[in-house]
Amino acid sequence: MEDLVVNFHTLDGVVYALDRVSLDVQKGEILGLVGETGCGKTATGLAILKLLPDNSEIAKGRIMLEDDDILHKSEDEEMNIRGRKIAMIFQDPASSLNPVFSIGRQLLDVLKIHNQHMDEESLRKLAYEKLGMVELPDAESVMDLYPHELSGGMQQRVMMAIALAGSPILLIADEPTTALDVTIQAQLLVLLKKLKDTLGLSVLLITHNLGLVRELCDRIAIMYAGSVAESADTDRIFRNPLHPYTRGLISSVVTGRLRGKVLHYIPGTVPSLLHPPTGCRFHPRCAYAIEVCKQAHPDLLEIEAGHFVACYNIPKEPWWRT
């Protein structure tokens, strides 16, 4: 993804949702896209599949899948990409599954689209295989159940099976463990990593959970107010964050070591994307802001090998967690 700009036209005015977003997901890796609620993470995922609402406008940018620019494909061409090359699972499986159809009916309908040459018996065997792939026990019984008869974790496994029905090469997971208890979250994340290793999947994991990305992701991209502030491999982000926002975000994580101490926070509030600040969108809250930060949007530059930062005044003092 190169310099993607997405706007939403609303009754209140234009929402400048994504501002020159650049990301890359390598083959067989998990990239964590991290940021606060409303920073543009989900909009980024939806833009890749052109599932943005009708009031949206992709004003600029390119989205390359392997060597193919998929941003300007026709609707028919896009339909051949969705599910077959790129699939997405959402944070609320209960709203993604149709409550009036059985799990088997919904899974078989998707499999038929991707395997039109198969007969009913072969499709059913393939459905059992997909449900087994996501470690759902007793697949034959699950096929006859309705979504309300499954737990949240089982529903999300079904959504993962549906997403894998077309054997995609990129899986976009939009906060897939939201509203699940921590035990089920851990199981689903282990499963996601196992699927990545087994199938050679590339995964874009959208989340606000820093602990999750530290355990699961190969690389991390930090978003703030519609822009990518910093990206690097996971160890480097946590060992030596360079962008002031990344430092503030990591410092804000509460741990047992902070018992009895004053908790760190980032002063100010997230800006309205109806009227975003000029220049760097973080500058009104940044202790390191200089005059140029107010005037021009910083480019995402490679500061060291594989470490990209969008900042005019990177803090010079060494990083440590207080």
274 located within any domain: yes
- Burial grade of 90 (CB within 10 A; 0-12, 13-18, 19 or more): buried
Better-scored residue on pLDDT, 148 or 318 = 148
* Centroid of chain to Cα 104: 27
92 located within any domain: no
Average pLDDT, the chain: 90
Binning pLDDT at 50, 70 and 90, where does residue 209 land? confident
Mean pLDDT computed over 129-156: 92
Q: Among 92-96, 160-164, 189-193, name the most confident range.
A: 160-164
State whether residue 153 is helix, strand or coil. helix
What's the one-letter identity of residue 137?
P
- Calpha distance 67→245 (Å, rounded): 33
Contact indicator for 40, 228 with CB cutoff of 8 Å: no
**Position 318 pLDDT exceeds 50:** yes
Segments in the chain forming alpha helices (H)? 41-48, 75-81, 93-96, 103-114, 120-133, 139-143, 152-163, 182-199, 210-216, 234-239, 244-251
| Residue 177 pLDDT | 82
- Calpha distance 269→163 (Å, rounded): 36
| Residue 133 pLDDT | 92
Q: 126-132: which pairs have CB atoms within 8 A and are 24 or more residues apart?
A: 127/161, 130/161, 130/162, 130/164, 130/165, 131/107, 131/157, 131/158, 131/161
Helix 152-163 to helix 182-199 angle (10° resolution) is: 20
pLDDT 10s digits, 223-233: 999 999 999 99
- Calpha distance 250→254 (Å, rounded): 9
123 located within any domain: no
What's the one-letter identity of residue 308?
F
| Residue 322 pLDDT | 42
| Residue 73 pLDDT | 87
214 located within any domain: yes
Least confident of 29-33, 90-94, 214-218, 250-254: 250-254
- Calpha distance 206→208 (Å, rounded): 7
**Position 277 pLDDT exceeds 70:** yes
152 located within any domain: no
160 located within any domain: no
The DSSP 8-state label assigned to residue 82 in this structure reads B
Q: What is the DSSP string of 110-121?
A: HHHHH-TT--HH
Total residue count of the chain as it appears in this document: 322
126 located within any domain: no
Better-scored residue on pLDDT, 179 or 214 = 214
**Position 270 pLDDT exceeds 80:** yes
| Residue 46 pLDDT | 94
What's the one-letter identity of residue 228?
V
Mean pLDDT computed over 238-254: 88
| Residue 256 pLDDT | 60
Mean pLDDT computed over 124-145: 92
| Residue 255 pLDDT | 67
pLDDT 10s digits, 10-52: 999 999 999 999 999 999 999 999 988 889 999 999 999 999 9
Mean pLDDT computed over 201-228: 92
101 located within any domain: no
| Residue 172 pLDDT | 95
Least confident of 14-18, 52-56, 209-213, 232-236: 209-213
Q: Which residues pair with 82 in a beta bridge?
A: 86
| Residue 36 pLDDT | 87
Q: Give the domain extent around 217.
A: 2-85+168-309
Neighbours of 159 (CB within 10 A): 24
Q: Tell which residue, 50, 277, 14, 55, has the closest CA to residue 172.
A: 50
Count structural domains, the chain.
1
User: In 225-297, where do the E strands start and end?
Assistant: 227-233
Read off the CATH number of the domain in which 178 is found: 3.40.50.300
| Residue 243 pLDDT | 95
| Residue 41 pLDDT | 93
- Calpha distance 297→287 (Å, rounded): 17
Global pTM? 0.91
**Position 299 pLDDT exceeds 80:** yes
